[in-house]
Amino acid sequence: MVVGGGVADVQIALDLTGLGYKVYLFGRSGAIGGVVNVSGVAEHAKSLPNVAYASGNLYSCSQDAQKILVETIHKHKLNRLVVAACTTRTHEPLFQAILREAGLNRSLFEMVNIRDQCSWVHIHEPEAATDKVKDAVCMAVAKSCHLSSLTDQQLLVTPSALVVGGGLAGRSAGPGHCRSKALW
């Protein structure tokens, strides 16, 4: 399991094998690290039940850091990835790809948006931001313990549509769709 962090990339790695977690903390730019006490979050992560180790790395989204993360997952036999970082819109696919590269199911991933939800909203309150990140990391770690592997499925889709309304949108959507598909 890896828990991390955002533009400052607070990224903590937790090993769920055996009885303990392995924790790694990654810090990056001022958007998180300039507000959140990254080392304080790492120390807090060490105090979580079964946390055995904490370390740091800069630019965890970089190609070099991604390779190191894959190696770390293999070396410590990690089985989950929890990232406390920037928005999931940009980072979730990246870390899911890291999981796949490491041979793990991409659904064994949990992400906490600490940039938007912690450091930006508490930019003038670093202690409050740090406390909120600690809480978010604790919750993500707890949730990740209940994640299970999911399989990708292909479903048959019947290409049809129901257009409700005869206004401009309905009149525009209907004719274009019914040229090639069923329309009701």
Q: CA 144 from chain center: how many Å?
A: 11
List pLDDT tens digits, range 81-114: 877 777 888 888 898 999 999 999 999 988 888 8
For 88, which DSSP code? H
Q: Is the pLDDT at 26 greater than 80, yes or no?
A: no
Q: What is the pLDDT of residue 112?
A: 81
What the chain holds in terms of domains, given with CATH numbers, is: 2-144 (3.40.1400), 154-184 (no CATH)
For residue 53, give the nearest of 75, 30, 28 by alpha carbon.
Answer: 75
Q: Is the pLDDT at 146 greater than 60, yes or no?
A: yes
Q: Confidence class of residue 145 from pLDDT cuts 50, 70 and 90? A: confident
List pLDDT tens digits, range 57-86: 556 677 787 888 899 889 888 888 877 777
Amino acid at 102: A
Q: Is the pLDDT at 27 greater than 60, yes or no?
A: no
Mean pLDDT of 134-159: 87
Q: Is the pLDDT at 45 greater than 70, yes or no?
A: yes
What are the CB-based long-range contacts (under 8 Å, 24+) for 102-106?
Answer: 102/69, 102/70, 102/73, 102/74, 102/78, 103/74, 104/73, 104/78, 104/79, 104/80, 105/149, 105/150
As a whole number of angstroms, the distance between CA 29 and CA 6 comes to 9
Q: Which residue has the higher pLDDT, 25 or 129?
A: 129
Question: pTM of the full predicted structure?
Answer: 0.65
